[in-house]
Amino acid sequence: MNRAHVRHYLNARYMTAAIVFVALLFSISLGSALLGEMASTQRSLSAQSPQIEDAIRQNDLIRAHKMLWPFLNGRVAAIQIEPVAFPSGKISASAPEKPSGILAHQRFELVSNGLHIANVAYSIDITHTAMTVFVDNVGFYLSLALFAAILMGYANSRTASALSFLEKRIILLARSSHRDGASGGQDIAHLADQIQDGTLSPACAESLKQLILAMDEHSKSRTEFAEANTTYEIAKQVAHDIRSPLSALKIATHGLKGMPTERVSLIRQAADRIQSISDDLLAYARRRSEFEHPAENQTNPSPFPLRELVRDIVKEKQVELSGRTNIVIHSKFLDADELFARVDPGQLQRAVSNIVNNAAEAIHADGHIAIELTRVDDKAIITVSDNGMGIPDEIIPLIGRRGYSHGKCGKGATQGNGLGLFQAKQIAERAGGELRIESRIGIGTKISLLLPLASPSSKGTLQ
Amino acid sequence: MRARLFAFTALIGLSIGIAILKSSADKDEEWTVISIGLPDRIEPKSAMANMGYYILKQTHEPLFRETGPGLFNSKILLSWDRNASNTLFRICPALGKSFDSGRPFTARTLVQHLSKSIRELKKNAAIKTSDDCVVIEFEKPFNAFFKTFSQYEFAPSVPSSDPRWEIGLGPFQVVSKDKSSLTLQKKEFGEGHFNSIRFLDYSGPTDPILQDRSVEDFNRVLLKDQPDWLKHDMKMFDVSLLQTVNLFINIKDPMVRALIFQCMPIHEFRKAFMNGQLNFSDVDGVIPVGVGHARRKMVAQNCKRASVERGDESLRFINWNTGNEENLKRVFEELEERTGLKISTAAVTTADFIRDVFGRRPGYDLYVVAIDAVRPEISPFFEPIVDQRRRLLDFGPILDTRMNLLENASGDAAADLASEINQEILDSHVVLPLYQEMRTFYYPRKMKGNSTGRNFLEYPEVAELKP
């Protein structure tokens, strides 16, 4: 507990509250003492009423006067008896010392065995009573103050401990947020579990645990956002920079003579695709919030036939990977009908192309890549399967997250840009479908894009 | 799991049930008293004798109770007031009080009761009812009104179907009676209280009932007959009783009275009469220490050897104690040697003695009487000697006028007047004070509701006690 904590918890407000409490307690004690004194005086006088009656009856005023002396105990400052049943003068007695302050005057009828013998008036010295009450209770008040101080000190020390604990955890949290996501998350989870160490109450510890987890989540989001931002900036720059050489390349293809037409066409198609990618990246960069808020400003694409799209990809990939003679690419169309889905054909083509590229990269020796289009219930499924090296089980849940890449060699998450599968997943999910990954180490990987079927005549609507 | 829980719950319930039953069974709701000389008839007049007073404290309730010196309260009156000259009193019965189920305590029954009492007191008064209250207007001031009607002798009482007892406004009523036992039952049954009281007269030190450990009250038993185990089994209360034990000299001839008074060896006589009891607390008059100006010293005696000619006629000492005959004989021989007076001993049972001493006292020349009061007042100690209506002897001064003065006096004036009366009694030689009774009272350890000062130990109010 540092000085700031002490100052905070022993501030004027708390001191005022303590003083008000003691004052209230004192007032109650004083009120009780005054009421008790009144009751006691009346009770004692009533108990002596036969003797007082006897003295008055015999007009023995000295004896009557003597009877009043014991009542003048300091708190009762004066007492007067005015006989009503007998012809006798008033009997008065006052304390030898002058009353020190405010007086409370009381009156009552003195009845002796059924006979109203006199009216009694007496005065209670409130100041003296207050002093007596204070002196009588000073030990109690001091004890109370000491107890309150100990209690406050104890409570403050607990609060200070809790604050210190929280402070340390937040520092740890800040440090852990600079590390990579997975290990950082594990640290935080471990940290949150450690809270219940007896320093804090269970309820406080649980609140703190929830706070730490929420802060961790927030920190992760910020990190991811920053990473994505960087990626977009790079993509934007790349897309911008690539446009000029690409234009030159496209122009140059018009001058190619002697090259087989099929090859020239392939080069032009590849150049067009690079152009399309570049355009998309620029558009992506302009509409970055689309990824953060995909529902916003998103139109519903028109139904698009999938068979032709898959055929084009197969062809493209067969040419593209023709240099890798160890890889055989083949396709299967298991459904006789044309299948339609509401997807952006360019995006879908890039997504499938990326998946096929990933499959090719996973194959080191001889292998094959199968691209299938099939229908299950109301879903069209585009499946890319390979017999490559496979993906470890613990990595599979992470694939598809933004910024995470399994990489060419499967050795970590830093070698790819992580956009391929992330975009594929986004595309599938945006279309109301999903991305499924099945893989076994040494056997191969199967990635399926499940897309809801659409009827060819239906029109796009705003979602 | 559920079956095990049920079994456990049942076991707990059974244990609690057994504990409650055991607790109920352990509580004896009958208060048993070993008594000595039950009165023939239970009526307000019985309050003059110890056992009568004990019984009346359970069965009757006086109009007033003295809660402090001269300060009165009531359990059966709703309100009361009076005029300054004490000639006019207005008292209102509390609602809901009744003698028995058919006889409520009303203004009408109160008028009957007051009329009878005022006749006995030989007062002239007009009594009438007014708004459920009773107004009594005395011809002369009646300053002792509250004191008089706080005595059990003037407690409201109505006849029962059995001539042997009357019914009062106390919490108990008599349900059966024979010569040596009496049973009272509570009018309103109370859970956890004593609901019946049984008085059993014991016949002597060998009576097997003295060994009955279920008895609650052995305090009426003579000291010499009290079983030793009381000291271990019961809770002890050391009480200096407001009681003096006196030799009543009920002899017409003042010379003879004087001789006995001056020459009776007090030490030897009290030791002989009480069967070898060694420790006695001296007292210099008929009022005990703690009341008036009484002092803890023996009465001054001045025995001048003299001889009174009475022929063979002997005086009769009425002996209600037992086992003391030989010792008494020796003391009386010594007295005869000093005075020439022959004294014979006549043994009577305690019950017979109580009956006779409050009656005609046939041949009662000398007898021992313990005088006591249930509150620190003076007049009850003189009444058995000088009050014509209440005295337990046939000779000596009658001091009704002074007794009236005493009843109306208080403080030092009353104490001074009491000293004068006491001296006059001693001078008339009708009573020789022997000692003041100091006793240890024994009550069951577990009993609740009894405490010195609040519930007078000598005569507990059983309705307030809990087993």
* B365: three-class secondary structure by DSSP: coil
Q: Tell whether B73 lies on the interface with A, counting CB pairs under 8 A.
A: no
Chain B residues touching residue A51 (CB < 8 angstroms): 69-70, 410-411
- One-letter amino acid identity for A351? A
| Contact residues on chain B for A117, CB-CB shorter than 8 A | 84
Of B69, B79, B84, the CB nearest to A115: B84
Indicate whether B427 pLDDT > 60. yes
Q: Do residues B193 and B28 make contact, with C-beta atoms less than 8 angstroms apart?
A: no
Indicate the average pLDDT of chain B: 86
- In chain B, which residues have their Cβ closer than 8 Å to the Cβ of A54? 70, 410-411
| Matching residue, tokens 């003879």 | B256
CA distance A33 to chain B (A): 25
pLDDT band (50, 70, 90) for residue B270: very high
Chain B residues with beta carbon closer than 8 angstroms to that of A114? 79-82, 89-90
Q: Which two tokens stand for residue A228?
A: 């994505």
The string of pLDDT tens digits covering residues B333-375 is 999 988 889 999 999 988 788 888 888 888 899 999 998 875 5
Distance between CA atoms of A385 and A335, rounded to whole angstroms? Answer: 18
- pLDDT at residue A31 in the model: 92
With a CB cutoff of 8 Å and minimum separation 6, the contacts of A162 are A199, A200, A204, A208
Report the percent of chain B where pLDDT is more than 70.
89
Q: What is the DSSP string of A121-136?
A: EEEEEHHHHHHHHHHH
Whether the CA torsion A302, A303, A304, A306 is positive or negative: it is positive
Backbone angles phi, psi at A276, to 5 degrees: -65, -40
Of chain A, the end-to-end C-alpha distance in Å amounts to 56
Q: Note whether A114 contacts B: Cβ–Cβ < 8 A.
A: yes
**Shortest alpha-carbon distance between residue A80 and chain B (Å):** 20
Listed as ranges, residues in chain A with pLDDT below 70 are 1-12, 169-170, 173-204, 280, 283-299, 336, 401-419, 457-463
**Gap from A53 CA to chain B (nearest CA, Å):** 10
**Closest by CA position to B444, among listed B26, B90, B125, B12:** B26
Q: Which candidate in A66, A115, A116 is best for mutational testing of the B interface (most B CBs within 10 A)?
A: A115
User: Is A455 in the B-facing interface, judged by CB distances under 8 Å?
Assistant: no
A115 contacts B70? CB cut-off 8 A: no
Question: Edge-to-edge strand order for the sheet containing B88-93?
Answer: B77-82, B88-93, B133-138, B125-130
Please tell me if residue B83 touches chain A, with a CB cutoff of 8 Å: yes
Distance CA A190, CA A180 (A): 16
In this structure, what token pair is assigned to residue A274?
């690079």
- Chain A residue numbers with beta carbons less than 8 Å from the beta carbon of B71 are 46-47, 49-50, 113
Residue B21: its pLDDT value, please? 52
Q: Is A10 in CB contact (< 8 Å) with chain B?
A: no
Please, what is the Cα angle at A234 between A233 and A235, to 5 degrees? 90
A50: chain B residues, CB-CB within 8 Å: 68-71, 410
Partner A contacted by B413 (CB < 8 A): no
Confirm if A373 and A306 have CB atoms less than 8 A apart. yes
Q: What is the pLDDT of residue A406?
A: 61
Which candidate, A397, A399, A370, places its Cα nearest to that of A382?
A: A370
Determine, for residues B72 and A113 on separate chains, whether the beta-carbon distance falls below 8 Å. Answer: yes
**The predicted structure's pLDDT at residue B451:** 56
Q: Chain B residue closest to A50 (CA)?
A: B70
- Cβ neighbours of A70 (radius 10 Å): 11
Chain A residues in contact with B68 (beta carbon < 8 A): 47, 50
How far apart, in whole angstroms, are the C-alpha atoms of residue B98 and residue A238? Answer: 115
**With bands split at pLDDT 50, 70 and 90, how would you rate the model's confidence at B248?**
very high
Output Rg (C-alpha) for chain B, integer angstroms. Answer: 25
Q: Which residue from A minimizes the CA distance to B77? A: A114
How many Å lie between the alpha carbon of B70 and the closest alpha carbon of chain A? 6
Q: Is the dihedral of CA B395, B396, B401, B405 positive or negative?
A: negative
User: What percent of chain B lies above the pLDDT cut of 90?
Assistant: 50
- Coil, helix or strand at residue B57: helix
The pLDDT, as a whole number, for residue A160 is: 73
Query: Are A115 and B146 within 8 A, CB to CB?
Result: no
Could you give the C-alpha distances from A97 to A72, A101, A241, in angstroms and in order? 10, 12, 107
Residue A460 has what DSSP assignment?
P
Chain B contact set for A64 (CB, 8 A) = none
**Cα–Cα distance, A319 to A271 (Å, whole number):** 14
> How far, in Å, are A79, A342, B150, B373, B409 from residue B400 at the CA level?
41, 131, 20, 19, 14
Give exposure, B366-383, as e/b (b: 16+ Cβ within 10 Å).
bbbbebbbbeebbbbbbb
Residues 415-444 of B with CB under 8 A from A: none
Q: Of B82, B410, B411, which is closest to A114 when you measure between CB atoms?
A: B82
**Cross-chain Cβ contact B71/A54 below 8 Å:** no
Q: Chain B within 8 Å of A87 (Cβ-Cβ)?
A: no
Nearest by Cα to B171 from B35, B27, B93, B55: B55
Say whether B146 and A113 touch across the interface (CB within 8 A): yes
Residue with tokens 């007496």: A122
Query: Is B159 part of the contact surface with chain A (CB cutoff 8 Å)?
Result: no
Nearest to B70 among A51, A86, A114 (CB): A51
In chain A, which residues have their Cβ closer than 8 Å to the Cβ of B80? 113-114
Q: How many angstroms away from the CA of A69 is the closest CA of chain B?
A: 18
- Name the residue type at position A434: E
pLDDT at B453 (0 to 100): 45
- Note whether B70 contacts A: Cβ–Cβ < 8 A: yes
Predicted local distance difference test score (pLDDT) of residue A408: 45
Q: Do B83 and A115 touch (CB under 8 A)?
A: yes
Contact (CB<8Å) A51/B411: yes
From the list B69, B70, B84, the residue facing A85 with the nearest CB is: B84
Residues B263, B302: Cα–Cα separation, whole Å: 7
Residue B81, min C-alpha distance to chain A (Å): 4
Sign of the dihedral through C-alpha B317, B323, B328, B330: positive
Cα A164 from Cα B288, distance rounded (Å): 80
Residue A427 and residue B400: Cα distance in Å, rounded? Answer: 127
Which A positions 345-404 lie with beta carbon below 8 A of chain B?
Answer: none
Find, in chain B, the residue whose alpha carbon is nearest to that of A117: B84
Find, in chain B, the residue whose alpha carbon is nearest to that of A44. Answer: B68
> Which DSSP letter does residue A280 get?
H
- Between CA A187 and CA A169 the distance in angstroms is 11
Residues of B in contact with A113 (CB under 8 A): 70-72, 80, 82, 146
Residue of B nearest to A57 (CA): B84
Instruction: Classify residue B164 by its DSSP letter.
Output: T
Task: Calculate helix-pair angle for B411-428, B379-386, nearest 10 degrees.
Answer: 30
Looking at the complex, report in whole angstroms how far the Cα of residue B359 sits from the nearest Cα belonging to chain A: 36
* Cβ pair B82:A85 closer than 8 A: no
Six token digits for residue B132: 């459920």
For residue range B28-63, list pLDDT tens digits in order: 689 999 998 888 899 998 887 888 999 999 999 999
Smallest Cβ–Cβ distance between B81 and the set A49, A51, A115 belongs to A115
pLDDT tens column, B61-102: 999 998 887 889 999 999 999 999 999 999 999 988 999 988
Measured distance CA(A173)–CA(A168) in Å, rounded: 9
pLDDT of residue A297: 45
Instruction: Report the alpha-carbon distance of residue B432 to residue B247 in Å, rounded.
Output: 5
Q: From CA A194, how far away is CA A198, in angstroms rounded?
A: 10
Report CB contact under 8 Å: B69, A50: yes
Which residues in chain B are contacts of A46 at CB distance < 8 A?
71
Q: How does pLDDT run across B374-423, given as a tens digit for each residue? A: 555 788 889 899 988 888 999 988 887 888 778 777 777 888 889 999 99
pLDDT at A157: 74
Whether residue B219 contacts residue B442, with contact meaning beta carbons closer than 8 Å, is answered with yes
Tokens matching residue A154: 């104890």
Q: State yes or no: ipTM above 0.85.
A: no
| CA distance to partner chain B, nearest, from residue A85 (Å) | 6
Tell me: the pLDDT tens digits for B158-170?
999 999 999 999 9
> Residue B50 CB: number of other CB atoms within 10 A?
20
Token pair in block for residue B85: 């000259």
The per-residue pLDDT for A194 is 62
**Nearest chain A residue to B67, by CA:** A47
